[in-house]
Structure 1
Amino acid sequence: MALGSVLLEILQRPTIGDVLSEILIFVIPLWVAVAVGVLVGWAWKPNWASNLSREMLLDSKVSKEAKKEGEFSATTRSSVIPSFNILKFQLPSCVSWVADDGRFQKDSLSLPPTLNSECSSSKMKKEKPDLVMEDDLEHLSKLVEVTDGGPAWIQMMDRSTPTMSYQAWRRDPETGPPQYRSRTVYEDVTPELMRDFFWDDEFRAKWDDMLLHAETLEDCPTTGTMLVQWVRKFPFFCSDREYIIGRRIWESGRVYYCVTKGVPCSSVPRRNKPRRVDLYYSSWCIRAVESKRGDGQLTACEVMLFHHEDMGIPWEIAKLGVRQGMWGAVKKIEPGLRAYQKHRASAAPLSRSAFMAQINTKVSADYLRSLESRTSSDMLEIESQETPEKRVGNNIPKFLVIGGAVALACSLERGLLTKALIFGVARKFAIRRRS
């Protein structure tokens, strides 16, 4: 309304010259804002922008080639046809999905044949030692006891159902993606069953419709360490993501420390699609706790999850997706867990990954306490270092950030919601840079 009244006042000028001069005076500040936005965008160009534009270009090329041939491959369909999963892929990998009507979905898409070749454990002749070590146990133990020296956790959510309660926190480190911490308590579940549930990739395919492919590349029957490959479904404007994960479990008196993290693997070559996620960390501490029924029995199971990963998308958008879709995703994990309880009660044979989940490295409570009290100077030094890209971002004045947002908002005809989102992200970004 204000913009319309200003334009109406300009058009009521007595002469054409007065109208043109007023319009120029009105338009020049907008073009200045556009110029500032272009300069800011050129000077501060995040890596995700280049990666996203490159992926969209590759997707368009693939779709054109497929149309010429008259058919689409399964991988092309998954990347070209909108799947409307924008909120799903923001959540940790252990937070997976079932159909809204409660039925379990199993994706019909198959993995490209190129990813199945030369990756089986029988063809990998040399075992990769030291994938997951005591340093990883120490780090997880400090996260559980909140003695890792990182930023304070900010609570995001506190929800519950009759058979499950859930709390979630987030923190933003100086470098790297947002980190998430959650505490989930399930009634009438043992820690051992919960441990096997998260490790069992074969059964996961029945309740996790984002998991396109899971394969064990290596395993160690002595320590239980595994090297696995996952391919997870992403929305239509992004390639699917590939994860090469090292994982291992430690046990201390029925308390299970389950570490999974991204590890390098030269035996599996990189490809444009699916895109490999290098920075990935998702680990649990699983233990028995007292039931909320108040009978004093340790019949409930607590899962403390710590998760972060760099998926190649804007972190502010990722945080928005997590905040909006987290509770709906968490509620849908429990049907998969209860189905797994029935599966195990039927005396079905264990899968290979579930069998490996039962090979744990045992440690004492005194040993864990010694880890928690020991300071890790190397870790603190790495966390305190600031990359040149981060310093450049911190030096961007607030008015340039807001100016860039003004230019972007003025150039988009997407309604008030889009512009409000742009200004909100820019405002938070500017506040963080100032602080």
Structure 2
Amino acid sequence: MMALKFSEEDFQEAWRELDHPAIQEPWQLFTESMGFQIYRLQDQESGLYQYKVYGGLSDCLPELFADVYMDLEYRKKWDQYVNALREVESEEDPVIYWEVKYPFPLANRDYVYVRERQDLDVDGRKIFVILAKSVSVNHCPEKSGIIRVTAYKQSLAIESDGSSGCKVFMYYFDNPGGMLPSWLINWTAKSGVPSFLTDMEKACKGYNQSTVKTPSN
């Protein structure tokens, strides 16, 4: 088995954002969309932005949200931007291959990444944390006509809002490569991620609890 993909501090850092958002300068409020506040910070190396998203979903319990998020087969049914999504076995831990549909005439992007979920008990609070990052493995070579995203990182922390919903924190960064139009980058940042989270809420309502779930690592 490969070494732990993420450190305990990585998980701690993610859930702390629910209590104490780390959005001091140079982080800047970028937009508010669909009940979420989105902050951004320019990545000096790439010139692209890292994003932090804070908000909540009123009708999705946190454990269900985490289960739906981890279920690759189910995501292919409700996420319209998935062109391929599967777990790939390897001599070490499995990795996930994900191809994302881009609007014509842009090339699709694909990702090879690892992820890990921890269900934490923090002073009686149940907090679900899922971390993901891109990796390079020999058995998932790049494909002609598809741009491989090699810089991808995401953190997600979810807990109950005290009622029938959940509070959500998400950090994400990726470098999609190629020449993307500014309208697409802006749409993804301002609307794409909030739309994904609200689609997740709808997906939670239709989730069959008897569905066979993927391993949570």
TM-score, structure 1 as length reference: 0.43
Match of 1:268 among 135, 140, 153: 140
Query: In structure 1, the residue corresponding to 2:114 is in which secondary structure?
Result: strand
Q: Which amino acid aligns with 1:179?
A: Q
SS of aligned partner of 1:238: coil
- Whichever structure has more helix as a proportion of its residues is 1
Contact 1:156 1:323 in 2 (8 A): no
Partner SS for 2:206 = helix
2:32 aligned residue: 158
Which 5+ residue runs of structure 1 have no aligned equivalent? 1-126, 220-224, 291-297, 360-435
CA shift for structure 1 position 218: 3.7
Q: Does the residue aligned with 1:299 lie in a helix, a strand or coil?
A: coil
Secondary structure of the structure 2 residue equivalent to 1:276: strand
Output the CA distance in 2 between the equivalents of 1:232 and 1:324.
Answer: 15
Matched, 1:171 2:46: no
**Corresponding residue for 1:256?**
128
Aligned partners of 2:13 and 2:136: how far apart in 1? 19
> Which deviates further from its counterpart, 325-334 or 268-277?
325-334
Residues 1-40 of structure 1 correspond to what in structure 2 (within 5 A)?
none
Equivalence for 1:352: 213
Render the CA deviation track for 1:113-132: whole Å, top value 9, x for unaligned.
xxxxxxxxxxxxxx433333
Cα distance 1:328–1:249, how it changes in 2: closer, same or farther (>3 A)?
Answer: closer
1:330 correspondence with 2:201: no
What does residue range 184-263 of structure 1 map to in structure 2 within 5 Å? Answer: 184-218=55-89, 227-253=95-121, 254-263=126-135
Q: Which residue of 1 aligns with 2:184?
A: 321
SS at match of 2:6: coil
Report how many residues are paired. 208
Equivalent residue number for residue 390 of structure 1: none
Cα distance change on mapping 1:242 and 1:134 into 2, 3 Å = same
Alpha-carbon distance, 1:331 to partner = 4.2
How far did residue 280 of structure 1 move? 0.3
Structure number with larger C-alpha Rg: 1
Q: Distance in 1 between matches of 2:151 and 2:134?
A: 6
For residue 302 of structure 1, report the CA deviation from its aligned partner: 1.2
**Distance in 2 between residues matched to 1:274 and 1:324, nearest whole Å:** 21
Structure 1 position 340 matched with structure 2 position 204: yes
Does 1:285 find its partner at 2:157? yes
Code of the aligned partner of 1:212 = N
Answer 1 or 2: higher relative contact order, Cα 8 Å, separation at least 6: 2
- Report which of the two has the higher share of strand: 2
Q: Distance in 1 between matches of 2:14 and 2:6?
A: 12
Q: CA deviation at 1:341?
A: 2.3
- Unaligned 5+ residue runs, structure 2? none
Structure 2 residue identity aligned to 1:350: T
Change (3 A) 1:267 1:206: same
Kindly indicate whether the alpha-carbon contact (under 8 Å) linking 1:243 and 1:262 is maintained by their aligned counterparts in 2: yes
Cα gap change, 1:336 to 1:287, in 2 (>3 Å): closer
Q: How far did 1:350 drift?
A: 2.5
Higher deviation after alignment, 276-285 or 325-334: 325-334
2:4 counterpart SS class = coil
Change in CA separation of 1:199 and 1:179 when aligned onto 2, cut-off 3 Å = same
Contact 1:247 1:261 in 2 (8 A): yes
Residue correspondence of structure 1 range 422-433 to structure 2 within 5 A: none
1:304-363 Cα offsets, whole Å, 9 max, x none, are: 110110111458x55x4343463376346535533432333xx4x32332xx23x7xxxx
